[in-house]
Amino acid sequence: MSSDILKNLNPGITDLYPYEPGRSVDEVIDEFDLDEVVKLASNENPLGASPKALSVLKELKNDLHLYPDGNGTKLKKEIASHENVAIDNIIIGNGSNEILELAARAFLNSNTSSIASKHAFAVYKIVTQSAGASLIEIPTSNWSHDLGLFINHIEQSTKVIFIANPNNPTGTYNSHHEVHTLLKKVPSSVLVVLDCAYFEYVTKADYVRPIDLLSEFDNLLITKSFSKIHGLASIRVGYGIANPSLIEVLNRIRQPFNVNAIAQAMASIAINDKEHIEQSIKLNSQQYEFLFNKLSKLGLECIPSVGNFITFRGDFVGKELFYGLMEKGVIVRPLDLYDMKDFIRVTIGIKDENLKFLSAIEELL
């Protein structure tokens, strides 16, 4: 095939790489000829999906020939009541990644830039450069977003600021005070995307209260995910919360039926499954302590995390340890994509999964 076609590629796409997802269990079982594999690679909920939401699959109606509700009315109603906002404050997406992409498409083009921390969630760069814009990366402080520094880097061209709070892959968070201070200083014409995919896991008293900021800042877009605490990563649902005129703009460029009917029905139930949410938080807090202490005792340097994962480094090369662990039936995540080649990120699993991971890593260190 002639490569002429690639000459017309939009400039920002030239130095992008496809997002590297966590390896799947089936793939690793096949490749390494293993009987059993534990996946601690994509910050999924080790307790699985909300059991109540799973009932949707057992009671599926024979109406899959009909398009889903393009407005997502029922799901938006449940989200509105959960978040204590109005329905027109909400947009639903095919994962919260879709909301990030809509924000980029709505506000970024080749003459503009976005801002995010270095070592922040990889999708910010992808959606920025796909829209033709450039990403300004701000150095971190102790692996945390240095929001005070963000202000100094805002340029005339800057139209969007992405803040993952907590951040993936570092697990760090920013306080309500820090986010509020930033918002007060950012020009009101610059969109601030506060990505709260791991919101429910955070137990810190000073953590951001995103909804409290909504009435004060029209340039704020909060995103949340059903992929993490609700255990529904595979069905792809997320949502955005913002003032109604911003939501209306994002709705103009959204695909008509972006969230399928099964996903809408399951998410509507999952968001109210308090028992599952509480169990998941409890397990995560307990196993975080356990895993963090064990890894530290092995001499590994762990970044304190408020999410459902721990990122650590030691006397190893990330990719090599990643392959070594995979051979022993444990999938984790190397962080080359985040310019953190000497780190590994591990999702906090149930106790047996964590023990399998710990015994594999002990053998390899």
Interface residues toward ligand PLP, by CB under 6 A = 43, 95-97, 121, 164, 168, 195, 197, 225, 227, 233, 238
Beta strand segments in 8-57, E: 38-39
Cβ closer to ligand PLP: 98 or 353?
A: 98
Residue listed under structure tokens 């392959």: 323
Longest dimension (CA), the chain: 58
- Compute the least distance from the CB of residue 334 to ligand PLP, in Å: 15
Q: Which is nearer to ligand PLP, 156 or 234 (CB)?
A: 234
Nearest-CB residue to ligand PLP?
Answer: 95
Residue reference for tokens 């450069």: 129
Rounded CA gap, 84 and 71, in Å? Answer: 19
Question: Smallest distance from the beta carbon of 98 to ligand PLP, in angstroms?
Answer: 7
- Amino acid identity at 136: I
CA atoms within 13 A on the CB side of 315: 5
What CA–CA distance (Å, rounded) separates 292 from 275? 25
Nearest CA among 192, 173, 193 for reference residue 184? 192
Nearer of residues 168 and 268 to ligand PLP, judged by Cβ: 168
- Least Å distance, CB 239 to ligand PLP, is 9
36 Cβ partners below 8 Å, 6+ apart?
29, 329
Min dist CB 156 to ligand PLP, Å, is: 28
How many CA atoms within 13 Å lie on the side-chain side of 45? 28
Helix (H, G, I), strand (E, B) or coil at 48: coil
Dist CA 365 CA 360 (whole Å): 9
CB of 122 to ligand PLP, least distance (A): 9
User: Nearest CA to 79 among 189, 191, 224?
Assistant: 224
CB closer to ligand PLP, 89 vs 167: 167
Is 83 or 360 the residue whose CB approaches ligand PLP more closely? 83
Q: Using the minimum distance from each CB to ligand PLP, give the nearer residue, 264 or 358.
A: 264
- Of the pair 25, 233, the CB lying nearest ligand PLP is at 233
Q: How far is the CB of 228 from ligand PLP (least distance, A)?
A: 7
Nearest distance, CB of residue 202 and ligand PLP, angstroms: 12
